[in-house]
């Protein structure tokens, strides 16, 4: 009986109250069956040797009543109490698990949960790392409450843009990660560029201020057998490149160093003199 109950606790779902009652009924039925088996094995031999204080028919009747009323009822009540205890434990565990995987400000997944999801993603997807441009200046000028409002607003726009098969997370600070799945690369890039343009085109209202922001993004492709850490590093380099090229843009890893070099020159970076930004880009790309 203990082993059977253990199996029910391991494999049964106690998240819903209905399952608790089903569990109690099963345990009550099992107690009645076991009581009946014990009665069949003990009462006839006792009657055969004349050790019963009553007739065999009375003994069987009393045993049946005892098994139903005592065995079934007591077992059912105890199982019900245990089931509700497991129910509360399951809910508490689920809530704790949710909190441990959720960013409290944005309501999105946190970095830990996003990393786990990234490891499980296989092929036909893109990893995007978004970063709010000049976020520190927003905090310094408008205050941290407005900075929090910006994070919340960007979280909402990312969630509404990408469908349920995509995964959106706040990686920390003003940085967000998105795994865009289930579309051709061109369609994924169109949606990624679309959310960047949407964020740049409007203003976020907070504490009486209209705060205009932009985001930069770096994109890398998730293909079969490709190391996830390499994908993340490539997306991070593409994000840095988007920042170096002037911000408010999305850069895909395939755009390459040639595009970066010409973009830096067009933005007035001293490429020949190996200025700070160009030097950092060269270092990021291993040159």
Residue 219 sits in a domain whose CATH number is 3.30.70.270
| Alpha-carbon span 27 to 6, nearest angstrom | 11
Give me the residue label for tokens 């092929």. Answer: 123
* Cβ atoms 80, 21 nearer than 8 A: yes
Q: Are residues 87 and 141 in the same domain?
A: no
Q: Are residues 151 and 260 in the same domain?
A: yes
Q: What tens digit of pLDDT does each residue of 2-48 get?
A: 443 444 444 446 667 777 667 767 777 777 777 777 666 776 776 66
Q: Is 183 within the bounds of a domain?
A: yes
SS3 53: coil
State what percent of residues in the chain have pLDDT above 90: 47
Of 38, 39, 11, 41, nearest to 26 by C-alpha is 11
Angle at 55 between CA 51 and CA 57, to 5 degrees: 125
In the set 174, 183, 190, 266, the catalytic residue is 174
| Alpha-carbon span 220 to 236, nearest angstrom | 9
Task: Please indicate whether residue 174 is annotated as part of the active site.
Answer: yes
Q: Are residues 251 and 280 in the same domain?
A: yes
pLDDT of residue 170: 97
Residue 80 scores a pLDDT above 90: no
Q: Is the pTM of this model over 0.85?
A: no
């Amino acid at each position: 009986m203990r082993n059977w109950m253990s199996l029910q606790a391991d494999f049964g779902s106690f998240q819903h109250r209905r399952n608790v009652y089903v569990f109690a009924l099963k345990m009550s039925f099992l107690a009645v069956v076991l009581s009946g088996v014990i009665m069949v094995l003990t009462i006839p031999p006792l009657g055969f040797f004349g050790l019963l204080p009553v007739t065999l028919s009375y003994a069987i009747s009393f045993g049946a009543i005892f098994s139903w009323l005592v065995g079934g009822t007591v077992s059912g009540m105890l199982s019900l109490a245990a089931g509700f205890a497991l129910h509360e434990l399951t809910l508490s565990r689920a809530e704790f698990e949710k909190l441990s995987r959720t960013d409290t400000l944005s309501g999105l997944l946190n970095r830990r949960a996003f990393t786990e999801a990234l490891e499980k993603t296989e092929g036909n997807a893109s990893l995007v790392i978004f970063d709010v441009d000049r976020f520190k200046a927003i905090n310094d000028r408008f205050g941290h409450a407005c900075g929090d409002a910006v994070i919340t607003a960007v979280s909402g726009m990312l969630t509404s843009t990408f469908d349920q098969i995509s995964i959106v997370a706040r990686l920390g600070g003003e940085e967000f990660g998105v795994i865009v799945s289930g579309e051709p690369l061109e369609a994924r890039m169109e949606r990624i560029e679309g959310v960047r343009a949407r964020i740049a085109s409007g203003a976020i209202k907070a504490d009486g201020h209209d705060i205009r922001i932009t985001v930069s993004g770096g994109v890398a492709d998730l293909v079969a057998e490709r190391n996830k850490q390499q994908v993340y590093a490539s997306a991070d380099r593409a994000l840095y490149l988007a920042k170096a090229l002037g911000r408010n843009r999305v850069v895909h890893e395939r755009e390459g160093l040639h595009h970066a070099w010409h973009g830096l020159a067009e933005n007035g970076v001293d490429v020949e003199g190996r200025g700070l930004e160009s030097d950092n880009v060269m270092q990021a790309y291993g040159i």
